[in-house]
A and B are shown apart, each in its own frame.
Chain A
Amino acid sequence: DAGITQSPRHKVTETGTPVTLRCHQTENHRYMYWYRQDPGHGLRLIHYSYGVKDTDKGEVSDGYSVSRSKTEDFLLTLESATSSQTSVYFCAIGPQFNQPQHFGDGTRLSIL
């Protein structure tokens, strides 16, 4: 999606290391979300934000933290990565002005 940039797109790291994923939007959306996608589970909500410094937990928030210090950036942090956090992570923004939630192209994270 042109308005959402996720970085990095791919990352391989070791168990126990900290990892931060970034989502950057250029559409000035209030709402931002982090999901993870695993085979057999579809997408599951990790955390979301409804404004600067306003965040809340989703369905699978254990082991993750988030921060949103400005409208355009939403960071997802794994303080001490575990192999169970190997997944594809998607950022989403919206809804706004009758536009439904839409997604970035994901970050593929492998934890060895």
Chain B
Amino acid sequence: GESVGLHLPTLSVQEGDNSIINCAYSNSASDYFIWYKQESGKGPQFIIDIRSNMDKRQGQRVTVLLNKTVKHLSLQIAATQPGDSAVYFCAENISGSGGGADGLTFGKGTHLIIQP
């Protein structure tokens, strides 16, 4: 089965609300995790990453939380905007070096829909 997966394939939120996208991973040896955003017709775009020696990392309007005990990863987007509409993927790697050398394992993705 999938090494990395998502609980919800579609998430609908009101503009201005906070969004939380979840991801479960099964490989306890994974030590590096990335969130990507993919808009229609485009390649995945890096949002934020976190290494396994951290529980939380914040970026601009985004926060990633890592719970190694239950092998769970989440992406929080504050004050969701229409431009946040996209598919969001979590990905993992064991080497902990940003995806190299042997590539990333991706979840299936969550489609975030922003309601006006």
Interface residues on B, range: 20 to 34
User: CA of A103 to CA of B34 in the docked complex: distance in angstroms?
Assistant: 13
B-side contacts of A45, CB under 8 Å: 102-105
**CB<8 Å pairs between A and B, sample of 26:** A31-B99, A31-B101, A42-B4, A43-B89, A45-B102, A45-B105, A48-B101, A50-B100, A58-B102, A90-B43, A92-B43, A92-B99, A92-B103, A94-B98, A94-B99, A99-B98, A100-B46, A100-B49, A101-B34, A101-B46, A101-B99, A101-B100, A102-B45, A102-B46, A103-B43, A103-B45
B positions within 8 Å CB-CB of A? 2, 4, 34, 36, 41-46, 49, 89, 91, 97-109
Assuming A42-B109, A105-B43, what are 15 further A-B pairs, CB within 8 angstroms? A31-B99, A31-B101, A42-B106, A43-B91, A45-B103, A45-B105, A48-B102, A59-B105, A90-B44, A99-B98, A100-B34, A100-B99, A101-B46, A102-B43, A103-B44
